[in-house]
Amino acid sequence: MHTDLLLLSSPIGLPQHWPFIKMHGLENYFVILDRRDGNKPLNVEDIVRICSNNTGVGGEQLLTIEPASDEGLKAGAYAAVRIFNIDGREVGACGNATRCMAYLLLEESGGDELLIELAGDVVHCRRAGPMEISVTLGPISMDWRKIPLAREVDTLHLPIGSGPLIDGAALYIGNPHAIFFVDRLDGVDMPLYAPAVQNNPLFPDGANVGAAEIVNQQTLRLVVWERPGVLTKACGTGACIAAYAALKRGLVTSKRIAVHLPAGKLDIEILDGDRVVMTGPVSFCCHGFIQGGN
């Protein structure tokens, strides 16, 4: 383990126990393990157990710090990050998770900015204030094959819906999203309506489902139903997607948008091209040891 980062070493008598840190970004909770010392890959059972509130630490995702690949090192990556959902499925992106990991690695490196390898891409991260991090995410794609969708459709105007979730857009930012713009967010029962979209055959890998309300040209309100079926208090990639889709649909004209989620605000800047910068807070919960695998 890189004890400079975790400030932990395995206690006497617990050789199979792994140090962890638990953090959150706007109450989006993550269990973080440093796996840069050649530990064997985690299996699905490990991930499910660790993320469980009953058998493990409890979290919405498990994050591992890995050595950067040869390609990542050539691009200047400090380390690589892998992200796993509570069902053990690896995903390509999570904005809140990336901010938390960036904070830890910036503390370890002593710098104010660095690059992290994430699902084959290299992500720029920097300090934006005390316990606040900016990360550049993307590329964002609206190509139906990239998302992926089961067939070619107009990704700015989806032909599916559920209750008030109609005329949505589908986008990819390392994970698939469907975003629906509604007149009044408070009237949308996401646990009731979102699963039908998430599990629609149009999305063979499922989708994170968002509902957004346009408050004004610089402000959105957003709630997200995340894969594999969780109503989260904050979704960083969902906030990026909502702001990007609102601009693409002509619902807003500003490229700087404040996205208000149930747990707080994320600031999104839409760059020229297909990338966005997300800025928001990070917080520590606890650290300790979790039983290792066999």
> Among all residues, which ones are annotated catalytic?
94, 235
Distance CA 166, CA 211 (A): 10
Going from the C-alpha of 240 to that of each of 5, 263, 271, 292, the distances in angstroms are: 29, 16, 11, 35
- Closest CA relative to residue 50, chosen from 68, 35, 36, 67: 35
Q: Are 47 and 23 in contact (CB under 8 A)?
A: no
Residue 150 phi, psi (nearest 5): -75, -20
Q: Are 285 and 23 in contact (CB under 8 A)?
A: yes
Tokens (6 digits) for 288: 């300790």
Distance CA 170, CA 180 (A): 9
Rg of the chain over all Cα atoms, to the nearest angstrom: 19
Q: Is 255 helix (H, G, I), strand (E, B) or coil?
A: coil
Distance of CA 251 to the CA centre of its chain: 24
